Chains A and B, each alone.
Chain A
């Protein structure tokens, strides 16, 4: 399976500003001083060798959108945050705009940051495309239609040329969709959210964002450990520090890197992908959280290692 992160940011898209960009350039130029870098090829090779992720990369700013490739011709997507715009454009660039496709979209929930990319997802404007949107919320279809209504957007939902269907799923039930086994799990979030576990050919991916974990509920903790059990990859809401998540931001509906590591260790998962980054966090801060999380995994490890990944827009993960 191949997982592509198109949007990793939580709550609100952000962009890399000029001062942050210049800071990266300054650090790279200083590091390059005296190294005879006088061609673009040498510069690219040099950048590839800089170990500081925050200098050479940005975690990116699109809100939640993740693609799961299982080898079939149909697209499987989790959430329609602003990252969906780039996914749609990529499909057009790869196949041209006129080739029809089938899309299966799984919605964690219907908050704005998770649906805002849909009106900018180019395939909805091409007849012949078939888009099935799955979710567990009663308001699933209404949320998408409302977003396309005046005064929020100029093109009414009913005028979209693509064939669009909405499919309600029941949490806890195992479905066969796009060649994968898919199971949803209810999560604690304002208005509820749902995580999804995808299984194919002995591999498994869990997409679990916008999920707060009440630490004093042991049964619920064990239920999530079961949901994550043996997963090759868990994409996890690590928006806050633990201290914030259990104090000033309690009941805000998000979790932490600490709880992500604990649940994945309990579950025997292989990889943890820190996801839904806090919008106020810059690249250096997120890179610090990533580094600390790797360290936490190292000092608390009792079994097989858990690989710690930090999601960034454009990241591809092969499992």
Chain B
């Protein structure tokens, strides 16, 4: 799985797409990992743009849980934004909306996680 990268000030917006299920979750994890390692105190925040994600299974959610845990331990910040209605419901039913911050739009995530990045995002 490829993640579309977009920089917005001190934020890295990563766009995922398709289904994150038992067959693709490992690829999602591998694609995400290099970015997580860089997401530390004073570097940048990560916003996962899920507008293109149609479905996420338990395995995919677990990848997000581990990502959130890693980033938090490094002093960084990560959030998920623009969830499609089905994916949003999966987050709510699994209670993963309590595990990782979820935002209605990427701009909302930037405003919350990295206000300075919002300006760059708006200019892009």
Query: Cα distance A59–B61 when bound, in Å?
Result: 29
How many angstroms from the CA of A215 to the CA of B66 in the assembled complex? 12
With A242-B61, A243-B94, A258-B61 known, 8 other A-B pairs at CB within 8 A are A216-B26, A242-B96, A244-B95, A258-B58, A258-B93, A292-B92, A292-B93, A296-B89
Tell whether B90 is near chain A: CB-to-CB under 8 Å: yes
Q: How large is the interface on B (under 10, 10 to 19, 20 to 34, 35 or more residues)?
A: 20 to 34
**1/0 contact string of B7-18 vs chain A (CB within 8 Å):** 000000000000
Shortest CB–CB separation between residue B84 and chain A, in angstroms? 11
Closest to B59 in A: A215
* Complex contact A293–B93 (CB within 8 A): yes
Of the residues B22, B55, B94, B98, contact of A256 by C-beta under 8 Å: B94
Chain A: interface size category: 20 to 34
Q: Which of B22, B59, B86, B96 contacts A243 (CB 8 A)?
A: B96
Residues of B near A293 (CB, < 8 A) are 93
Give the docked Cα–Cα distance between A299 and B56 (Å): 12
A247 to B58, CA, bound (A): 12
- Can you sample 22 A-B contacts with CB below 8 Å? A215-B58, A215-B59, A218-B22, A241-B94, A242-B94, A242-B95, A242-B96, A243-B61, A243-B65, A247-B65, A247-B99, A256-B58, A257-B93, A258-B90, A258-B94, A262-B22, A292-B92, A295-B93, A296-B89, A296-B90, A299-B86, A300-B86
Indicate whether A272 reaches chain B with its CB closer than 8 angstroms.
Answer: no
Question: Which secondary structure dominates chain B's binding surface?
Answer: helix
B6 within 8 Å of A (CB atoms): no
Say how far A198's CB is from chain B's closest CB, in angstroms. 27
Is A221 positioned at the interface, with any CB of B under 8 Å from its CB?
A: yes
CA A292 to CA B89, docked complex, whole Å: 9
The answer to whether B58 touches A241 (Cβ under 8 A) is no
Contact with A along B64-92 (1 / 0, CB 8 A): 01000100000000000000001001101
Residues of B within 8 A of A218 (CB): 22
- B58–A262 contact, CB under 8 A? yes
Chain A residue nearest to B29 (CB atoms) is A216
A243 touches B98 (CB 8 A): yes
A residues within 8 A CB of B26? 216
- B92 CB contacts on chain A under 8 angstroms: 292
Bound Cα distance A237, B99 (Å): 22
A259→B58 contact, CB < 8 A: yes
Interface residue A14 (Cβ < 8 Å from any Cβ of B): no
Most buried by A among B61, B62, B96: B62
Set of chain A residues within 8 Å of B89, measured between Cβ atoms: 295-296, 299
Interface status of B57 (Cβ within 8 A of chain A): yes
Which residues 38-61 of B sit at the A interface, judged by CB distance below 8 A?
55, 57-59, 61
